[in-house]
A and B are shown apart, each in its own frame.
Chain A
Amino acid sequence: MRRPLWFVPFLALALLAASCADPRTHAQAVYMLVDTSGTYAKQLDKAQRIVSYLLGTLKAGDSLAVARVKSRSFSEKDIIAKVTFVKDPMQANAQKRAFIKQIAHFDSGIKKGSAYTDITGGIIQAAEFLNETGAGQKTILIFSDMQEELDYKTVRDFPIDLKGIRIIALNVTKLTTDNVDPRRYIGRLDWWEKRARAAGATDWKVVNDMEHLERIFKNRG
């Protein structure tokens, strides 16, 4: 009646060897858009703090990209730095160090903000990048006041596709006009939320408190 239990570890090993499940479904990809227009160009130290937080949070197999939002942002050239972390923690740490250096270099290079703010173009570029990674959890972080300003040639008033992507607006500062009429600020955020949800975004969140960055990934689905 007593059965030998030899097969248990071998079965476990076989399972381990045959671990053919798609690893990317559990990976996370984050694309951060940094507004460099107007006064936001002076708040890049905050953006760098967020990048540092992200680097500390993301794990092996996760991807991170940081891109700038300027007059026309639908371009790979606007990606400041991007990385997919390898599984070796030591190498991943080296990648993180190199990444933060790139961001610091970019911060010091910005002298003047862009004239216009093409958030939609940046979001489309971000969605493209995130879908390419094939990660299970895709997040777009927008470090901006969410006030889109386009030149007369730029066309962005068409439906966009954000299926399976979370959108988080960070450090959405109030403009002078918002202070005069707060409904403008609330209305602006509502408009973006509706647009994101209509595009198929899984979540929309605004995180303004830079002291509690852990709220970015709180209750992530």
Chain B
Amino acid sequence: MGSWQTLMFWPENPALSVLVWCVIAIPILYGARQAMHSMLRAIFRAISNPLRLMSHWLFKTADVMRQRNKMVLLANGRGEISQGIVKEFDRVTNLVQRDLHGYPALQRKLMDEITRIEEEFQKCGEVPPPPPEWTKAVASIAKIKPAGDGLVERILEDISASVSDIYDKVVAEYRESSRQRHDILKGFMPFWRSVDQTLNRVDKNLTGLRDSAAKIDEQMEKYTQINANTENAEHTLTSSATILFVISLLVMLIAAGGGFVNFWLIERPMEAMVGGSEYIYGNLQASYMAAMVIIFFETLMGLFLMESLGYTHLFPLNGINNRMRRWMVWISFAILLILAGVEVALAVMRDMIVSADVALKQELAGGAMTAAATAGWALNIPKAAQMILGFTLPFALAFVAIPLEYLIHSGRTVFGSLLVLGIRGLGFLTRFLSSMTRQIGKGVEHLYDAVIFLPLIIERVVVNRGPRLSSLPPGESGGRAAFPKRGGGEQVL
């Protein structure tokens, strides 16, 4: 307060003092206007230009990373699709070898059956009985007009009786013949069925072949798109990698839950083995570490088992031969089995410890020691459940290798995309800050001019009235125009 008052010409009248200060300062500020503007511009450029540079670099880096990501993504996609195509071709080969390999025999069988059916069919062709000669005689007799002659009538009656007998005989023969033909047709049924089945099998094989061909077409279409480096292929691969990443992550979380259960199942007996009061570092108990080591070992053995079986390809095991691979399968499986056995033993031990603790607590609470044997088989159920869990969880953990592989492979794409997004966001932020700094610089220049507005107005009036200077083009009036109507060359971003 004291130092402030020393600046006052008349401390009892601060307004007058300030006015006098303004009168002194404004001409000085006006005189120094150009220099001050240059200085302000230099300061704000010193801030905004590096920011712009940084933004430019970030965007460029993001582009480079995106290109690299795209390259890796397409290469991975190409590899996967190639594998898919190879698998489909293998399937087709197998199909052809297995099913269509016997196609000539099948065709021969089919032709045999068709020939047989034809022969049988010909046999059952309906042969009309030859027209008997006596029908003509009957027709001639029928033309005789009844004349009431008894002899003629008797002859006609005899003829009628004979014709009726013959007719019955012919009809019976005809029926017998039809029955035989029907029997032949009935005998066709198994052949028809056989033909039907054979044709169905052929149809199924051909459908499978057609499906495989469609899949190969589809894969080839994708392969073509990838080779053409299209945006669509990149999008498809990125989205499928993201979905795969999320699914793998979910499966891994479930597996982590299994691991957590497994940990608490063996931690207590481990405490008895390595000592509950032993600490490795900070609050990390040795028993926790021991339990985790067992779980890690199980997971690791699972990884090797899956790797040796060829379900995963996390390690470069191409160099080893099939015999060695089989050895690896058996060794990792044996270790996994031993660890599962250890877990069963630990589960039993855990149950014993818990029972002993419960008994002790009951005893300490004043109750008599309860005999565990009286509870019967029902008390053995939790123990059995723990043993089963102890045995199955290591094998379940072994399968973590599959989602882990997908997580690692898809994670590269997902994290790469996220990194590009982050760098771009940072680039945008720096560009925004650069632009803002420049605008603030301009605002400060205008503020400076606003303080010395009076001499600037006088300058404008004088410049506008001066006959000599009015002919000069704007900008050559000896200084920069105050309060320009348009901010020429202003850049927003």
Instruction: Determine if chain A interacts with chain B.
Output: yes
A residues whose Cβ falls under 8 Å from a Cβ of B: 2, 4-5, 8-9, 12-13, 15-16, 19, 21, 23-27, 52-53, 55-56, 59-62, 87-90, 93, 96-97, 100
B356 touches A90 (CB 8 A): yes
- Whether A59 contacts B277 by the Cβ 8 Å rule is yes
Nearest neighbor of B285 in chain A, beta-carbon distance = A26
> Chain B residues in contact with chain A, CB under 8 A?
271-272, 274-281, 283, 286, 289-290, 292-293, 296-297, 300, 303, 314-316, 352-353, 356-357, 360-361, 363-366
Chain B residues near A2 (CB-CB < 8 A): 314-316
B292 touches A12 (CB 8 A): yes
Tell which of A23, A55, A59, A96 has the most Cβ of chain B within 10 Å: A23
Chain B, Cβ-Cβ closest to A24: B277
Beyond A19-B286, A23-B278, 11 extra complex contacts between A and B, CB < 8 Å: A2-B314, A5-B303, A9-B300, A26-B283, A52-B364, A52-B365, A55-B360, A55-B364, A59-B276, A87-B274, A93-B360
Beta-carbon contact of A5 and B300 below 8 Å: yes
Per DSSP, chain A at the interface is helix
A89→B364 contact, CB < 8 A: no
21 cross-chain CB contacts under 8 A: A12-B289, A12-B292, A13-B293, A15-B289, A16-B290, A19-B280, A23-B275, A24-B277, A26-B279, A52-B365, A55-B364, A56-B364, A60-B277, A87-B271, A89-B271, A89-B272, A89-B276, A90-B272, A90-B353, A93-B360, A97-B363
The 4 closest A-B pairs by CB, nearest first: A61-B277, A87-B275, A52-B364, A60-B276
On chain A, the residues within 8 Å of B352 by CB distance are 90
Q: Which one of A16, A26, A62, A87 lies within 8 Å of B289 (CB-CB)?
A: A16
Cβ of A12: which chain B residues have Cβ within 8 Å of it?
A: 289, 292-293, 296
CB-contact partner of B279 in A8, A19, A53, A100, under 8 A: A19
**B363 cross-chain contacts in A, Cβ below 8 A:** 97, 100
Q: Identify B277's interface contact among A9, A16, A23, CB under 8 A.
A: A23
The distance in angstroms between the C-alpha atoms of A62 and B277, with both chains bound, is: 8
Q: Which residues of A contact B290 (CB under 8 A)?
A: 16
Q: Tell whether, in the assembled complex, residue B280 and residue A88 are in contact, meaning their CB atoms are under 8 Å apart.
A: no
B353 touches A89 (CB 8 A): yes
**B283 to chain A: which residues have CB within 8 Å?**
26
> In the bound complex, how far is the Cα of B263 from the Cα of A3, in angstroms?
26
**A16–B293 CB distance below 8 A:** yes
Task: Give the chain A neighbours of B280 by CB distance below 8 A.
Answer: 15-16, 19, 21
Q: In the complex, A53→B297 CA distance in Å?
A: 39
In contact, B296 and A89 (Cβ under 8 angstroms):
no
Residue of A nearest to B304 (CB): A6
| Whole-angstrom distance between the Cβ of A75 and the nearest chain B Cβ | 28
Cα distance A21–B361 in the bound complex, in angstroms: 31
List residues of chain A with CB within 8 A of the CB of B315: 2, 4
With the chains together, A27 CA to B271 CA distance in Å?
A: 14
* A21–B275 CA distance with the chains assembled, in angstroms: 13
Bound Cα distance from A88 to B273, whole angstroms: 7
Residue among A4, A5, A89 with the most chain B CB within 10 A? Answer: A89
CB–CB A8/B281 < 8 A: no
- Using Cβ atoms and an 8 Å threshold, which residues of chain A touch B361? 56
Q: State whether A26 touches B277 (Cβ < 8 A).
A: yes
- The answer to whether B286 touches A60 (Cβ under 8 A) is no
Which of chain A's residues have a CB closer than 8 A to the CB of B316?
Answer: 2
Task: Give the docked Cα–Cα distance between A80 and B274 (Å).
Answer: 31
Q: Are A19 and B272 in contact, with the CB atoms below 8 A? A: no
Complex: chain B residue closest to A85, CB-CB: B277
